[in-house]
Amino acid sequence: MKRHAGRMMRTSIFGLAGREIARWSEPLVADLVYDSYRRCKQASLEAQLGLARLHCRFWRKLLEGDTPTARQLRSELAAAVTAQELGDDSIDAIDTEVLEELLSVVMRCNQHSRATAEDDGMTLVRAASKLGEMRKAA
């Protein structure tokens, strides 16, 4: 019984950590994503902005742990990228860049708190795992 309670508590901590990362990382994710889509010269400015907004929403839901919504947004993003003839690899490249930058920030900012570093790190591991599942399903 104690073990179950501990697991539930740990799960709620990860949920909290995910919401917290989603909150503080939103400007960072937006900068990375918008900059990446700005480099896609074959898409119009309007399309670049629309793709970037959708991609940012996807990351927010992914970090918050809202997998069903993240999966739906990822599907919409893939369709929108295909419609712009940008290729699915562009989504993966942006996602890799975002994940690497978030991990770098988490590691730098949590040097003095092992517990926070572990919680934030596990949140990113879970996000990467879900991201991998979504890539495989696409």
pLDDT digits (tens, 9 = 90+) for 25-40: 999 999 999 999 999 8
Domain tally for the chain?
1
Per the structure, the complete domain to which residue 126 belongs is given by 2-137
Helices (H) and strands (E) in the chain, counts: 5, 0
pLDDT digits (tens, 9 = 90+) for 60-91: 999 999 999 999 999 999 999 999 988 878 99
**Exposure letters 83-108 (e unless 16+ CB within 10 A, then b):** ebebeeebbeebbeebbeebbebbee
pLDDT digits (tens, 9 = 90+) for 92-122: 999 999 999 998 998 888 777 788 878 888 8
Looking at mean pLDDT, say which of 12-16, 17-21, 44-48, 121-125 comes out highest. 44-48
pTM exceeding the 0.85 threshold for the entire prediction: no
Tokens at 90, concatenated = 């562009």
End-to-end CA distance of the chain: 39
**Residue 37 CB contacts under 8 Å (≥ 6 apart), including other chains:** 43, 48, 49, 51, 52, 55, 94
